[in-house]
Amino acid sequence: MSAAGRLVAIALLSVVAVGIALVSQHVFDMQPCPWCVLQRAIFVAIALVCLIGLVLRSGAARAGAATLALLLAIGGGAAAIWQHFWAAASPSCNLTLADKILNGAGLTALAPDVFAPRATCADAAVSLFGVPYDFWSLALFVIVAILAIAALARPSRRR
C-alpha cells in the first residue's frame, strides 16, 4: 500500500472512530467525559491532517501529514491510558487538562453535540464486548500510529 493509501486508511479509520462515538452517545445514550471528547477531537485532527496531506499531493506534505498523525496518535493513546487508569478512578474529572484543551480550542462552543463533555469520567467508564471504550480507542490509536509509521517508511526497491 502506498503512503497515500495509508493516509486514506488513517483518515477513514479516524472518521469511523468518531462516528461510532457519536452513535454511542446519541443513539445508545453513552454520554462522554472530557477525556472521551478529547480523544474524539484528536481523531478529527488526525483525519484533517491526513486529508490535507493528500490534497497537497507532494511527498513532503504526505510525510508531514504522517508525522503529525503519528504524534497525534501518541497523544491520543496517552489520553486513553490516562482516562482508564486515572480519570475514571476520580470522583470528578472537571477542569482537567482535557477540559482546558477543549475549551481553549473552542470546540465545545463550536460543536457541542460532538465536543461537549456530558458525564464524569467515572460515569463514562463503559465497555463494549467486555472491553472498556478507552481501550478500544487506545487500540485504534495504535493502529493509526502503525499506519503512520508505515506511511513514513520508504518503499522497498524491487530488484
CATH code, domain with 103: 1.20.1550.10
Residue 72: name the closest of 13, 31, 27 by CA.
Answer: 13
pLDDT digits (tens, 9 = 90+) for 38-66: 999 999 999 999 999 999 989 999 999 99
Give the SS3 label for residue 117: coil
Domain contains 131: yes
CB 98 within 8 A of CB 35: yes
Domain contains 77: yes
Domain contains 159: no
Q: How many domains does one find in the chain? A: 1
Cβ contacts of 90 within 8 Å, gap of 6 or more: 121, 122
pLDDT digits (tens, 9 = 90+) for 113-152: 999 999 888 888 888 899 999 999 999 999 999 999 999 9
Q: Identity (one letter) of the amino acid at 91?
A: P
Domain that holds residue 121: 3-152
Structure-block grid coordinates of residue 8: 486514506
